[in-house]
């Protein structure tokens, strides 16, 4: 299984592709074309995870000892392969997840960039030197790999999120056991193939396909030194409890309920484009998606009119169609959840401002919906993972910031204004790990740290950027002085 993208899944354990299927064979579906499944994949179980952890342990020391140049070379080659296979990877991502081809191409491109960036970073020193109070002594920190890392990833960015985690983990000398989401297993196989084809030694990256319970096995295995997880709050908090109880290290990227505040001086062309992109792009299935649109004072009515026009005319359809702006939701189950949440909001008194016209029939399609309502609605407090957002009206900047922070989450926030006083307040007062000024709540660059506050993230170091390697390394502080008097 090398060189090209396949449509039959397999585990990757100790360098071998394995189709062991104690849990049976599952089908990876296409949310836009339910009668055209993408392919099949084997379901592993606890024993599959255990085998993969053993393989990772056996490979880790040699990989760490290979040195940073060798590790960087593999990542550089992986970057080249991500670029070369970008179209195939993007198509697979669209087939399994449903997002549009341009959105999927962005993921493939960012995957290449991440490998390239982390390869470069591997060549820079992470050591620090400190002065000592003892004459002749030097204090120096060194970094050692964490060891074996467990990775559990979601389906909404099937290429990019895994690579955000895999690249810095490998650069730092760790070995990995990765359990991807069951909605996007073949994208995961394609990524693992990139790394094996790039020359990664056997056992350094292991991929296990199977249900969430198999991820649970990985989490509970005390041979796994750290677990990095992106997904739902409930699963993430359960993982945190298990890993911390056995004194492992855990990194969590969970949900968001991200506010976008539009002030009276905002350029509404810019704001409307950014709000619609942030709320509805990738079918609203981003942890950073705009869930609440806070209109301050007199801007409200015109903003609502213009948002309604923009949402109504969005083009929903198959992500492979170049005309499509918004693809289907990932599954029929996701559609049922989003539909139920909108019905509940309407029953609680939310006003429906706009619904996209001409949305195709199909079990996974959902018409993007703009609501209006207050902080008492369930939908303005709980994350609904779809193209739905609620406009809320406030009178002034104080009220806007209070409402923006009135959530258990703290992932991203944006403000539309050119007022430097408001911008400065936003940077200091908004409780969010990612703050955009005159841009959507979504989107980030791979060389800058990414993560949230409150229930959106755990307490580990930020992902991406030059902070990414902190989670994957142990810091040791050395006090070094001459062994004999000179």
For the CB of residue 435, give the shortest distance to ligand NDP in the complex, in Å: 18
Minimum CB distance to ligand NDP smaller for 225 or for 253: 253
Site track for ligand NDP across 62-81, x = CB under 6 A: --------------------
Catalytic residues: 253, 287
Assigned token pair, 359 = 């949305």
Which span sits near ligand NDP by CB under 6 A: 72-80, 174-182, 196-204, 346-354? 174-182
Minimum CB distance to ligand NDP smaller for 34 or for 238: 238
State which of positions 361-390 bind ligand NDP (CB under 6 A): 383, 385
Minimum CB distance to ligand NDP smaller for 111 or for 417: 111
- The answer to the question of residue 42 lying near ligand NDP (CB under 6 A) is no
238 contacts: CB under 8 Å, gap ≥ 6: none
Minimum CB distance to ligand NDP smaller for 178 or for 472: 178
Cα dihedral 304, 306, 307, 308 sign:
positive
For the CB of residue 386, give the shortest distance to ligand NDP in the complex, in Å: 8
Assigned token pair, 170 = 């490998």
Assigned token pair, 58 = 């056996």
For the CB of residue 385, give the shortest distance to ligand NDP in the complex, in Å: 3
Assigned token pair, 152 = 């559990």
Neighbours of 360 (CB within 10 A): 13
- The answer to the question of residue 181 lying near ligand NDP (CB under 6 A) is yes
- Taking CA atoms, 470 is separated from 286, 295, 308, 424, in Å, by 25, 39, 44, 29
Per rule CB under 6 A, count of chain residues that contact ligand NDP: 26
Minimum CB distance to ligand NDP smaller for 179 or for 240: 179
User: Could you give the angle at which helices 160-171 and 101-122 cross, rounded to 10 degrees?
Assistant: 10
Q: Which one among 39, 106, 216, 278 touches ligand NDP, defined by CB under 6 A?
A: 216
Return the residue matching tokens 């029929």. Answer: 332
* Alpha carbons 477 and 280: distance in angstroms, whole number: 47
For the CB of residue 239, give the shortest distance to ligand NDP in the complex, in Å: 6
Minimum CB distance to ligand NDP smaller for 377 or for 422: 377
Site track for ligand NDP across 217-246, x = CB under 6 A: --x----------xxx--x--xx-------
Q: Which one among 110, 169, 287, 316 touches ligand NDP, defined by CB under 6 A?
A: 287
Q: Which one among 39, 44, 173, 215 touches ligand NDP, defined by CB under 6 A?
A: 215
- The answer to the question of residue 248 lying near ligand NDP (CB under 6 A) is no
* Alpha carbons 357 and 350: distance in angstroms, whole number: 20
255 contacts: CB under 8 Å, gap ≥ 6: 232, 233, 287, 383, 409, 411, 455, 456
Site track for ligand NDP across 120-159, x = CB under 6 A: --------------------------------xxxxx---
Minimum CB distance to ligand NDP smaller for 222 or for 418: 222
- What phi-psi label fits residue 306: left (phi over 0), alpha (psi between -120 and 50 degrees) or beta? alpha
User: Could you give the angle at which helices 397-404 and 420-429 cross, rounded to 10 degrees?
Assistant: 30
State which of positions 294-333 bind ligand NDP (CB under 6 A): none
Element (H, E) at 105: helix 101-122
Q: What is the bridge-based pairing of β-strands 409-410 and 249-253?
A: unpaired
- Taking CA atoms, 371 is separated from 282, 300, 304, 389, 399, in Å, by 19, 13, 10, 6, 20
- The answer to the question of residue 31 lying near ligand NDP (CB under 6 A) is no
168 contacts: CB under 8 Å, gap ≥ 6: 118, 121, 468, 469, 471, 472
For the CB of residue 287, give the shortest distance to ligand NDP in the complex, in Å: 3
Minimum CB distance to ligand NDP smaller for 64 or for 166: 166
Cβ distance 379 to 342 under 8 Å? Answer: yes
For the CB of residue 388, give the shortest distance to ligand NDP in the complex, in Å: 12
- The answer to the question of residue 44 lying near ligand NDP (CB under 6 A) is no
* Alpha carbons 209 and 272: distance in angstroms, whole number: 41
Which span sits near ligand NDP by CB under 6 A: 34-42, 249-257, 272-280, 425-433? 249-257
Tell me the residue nearest to ligand NDP as measured from the CB. 212
Which span sits near ligand NDP by CB under 6 A: 31-39, 115-123, 208-216, 427-435? 208-216
Reference 260, options 98, 56, 439; nearest CA is 439
Reference 113, options 442, 457, 468, 459; nearest CA is 468
Q: What residues make contact with ligand NDP under the rule CB under 6 A?
A: 152-156, 179-182, 211-212, 215-216, 219, 230-232, 235, 238-239, 253-255, 287, 383, 385
């Amino acid at each position: 299984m090398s060189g090209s993208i396949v449509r039959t899944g397999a585990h990757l354990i100790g360098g071998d592709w394995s189709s062991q299927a104690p849990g049976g064979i599952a089908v990876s579906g296409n949310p836009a074309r339910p009668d055209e499944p993408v392919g099949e994949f084997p379901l592993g179980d606890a024993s599959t995870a255990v085998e993969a952890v053993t393989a990772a342990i056996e490979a880790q020391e040699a990989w760490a000892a290979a040195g940073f140049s060798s590790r960087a070379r593999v990542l550089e080659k992986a970057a080249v392969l991500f670029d070369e296979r970008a179209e195939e990877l993007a198509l697979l991502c669209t087939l399994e997840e449903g997002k549009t081809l341009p959105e999927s191409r962005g993921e493939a491109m960012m995957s290449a960039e991440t490998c390239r960036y982390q390869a470069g970073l591997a060549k820079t020193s992470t050591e620090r030197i400190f002065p000592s109070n003892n004459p002749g002594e030097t204090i120096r920190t060194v970094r050692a790999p964490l060891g074996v890392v467990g990775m559990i990833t979601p389906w909404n960015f099937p290429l990019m999120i895994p690579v955000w985690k895999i690249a810095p983990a490998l650069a730092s000398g760790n070995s990995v056991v990765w359990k991807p989401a069951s909605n996007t297993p073949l994208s995961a196989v394609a990524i693992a193939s990139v790394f094996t084809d790039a020359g990664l030694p056997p056992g350094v990256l292991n991929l296990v396909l199977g249900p969430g319970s198999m991820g649970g096995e990985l989490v509970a295995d005390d041979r796994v030194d750290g677990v990095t997880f992106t997904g739902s709050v409930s699963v993430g908090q359960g993982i945190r409890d298990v890993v911390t109880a056995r004194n492992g290290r855990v990194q969590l990227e969970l949900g968001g309920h991200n506010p976008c505040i539009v002030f009276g001086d905002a350029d509404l062309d810019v704001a409307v484009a950014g709000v619609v992109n942030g709320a509805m792009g990738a079918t609203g299935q981003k942890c950073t998606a705009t869930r609440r649109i806070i209109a301050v004072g007199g801007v409200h009515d015109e903003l609502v009119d213009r948002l309604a026009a923009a949402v109504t005319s969005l083009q929903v359809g198959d992500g492979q169609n170049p005309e499509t702006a918004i693809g289907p939701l990932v599954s029929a189950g996701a559609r049922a959840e989003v539909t139920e949440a909108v019905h509940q909001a309407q029953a609680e008194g939310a006003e429906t401002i706009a619904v996209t016209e001409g949305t195709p029939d199909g079990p996974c399609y959902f018409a993007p919906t703009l609501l209006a309502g207050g902080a008492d609605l369930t939908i303005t407090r709980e994350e609904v993972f779809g193209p739905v957002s609620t406009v809320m009206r406030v009178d002034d900047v104080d009220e806007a910031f209070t409402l923006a922070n009135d959530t258990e989450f703290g992932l991203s926030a944006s403000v539309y204004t050119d007022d430097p006083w408001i911008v400065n307040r936003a940077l200091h007062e908004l409780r969010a790990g990612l703050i955009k000024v005159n841009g959507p709540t979504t989107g980030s660059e791979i060389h800058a740290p990414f993560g949230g506050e409150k229930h959106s993230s755990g307490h580990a170091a930020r992902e991406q950027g030059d902070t990414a390697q902190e989670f994957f390394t142990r810091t040791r502080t050395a006090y070094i002085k001459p062994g004999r008097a000179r």
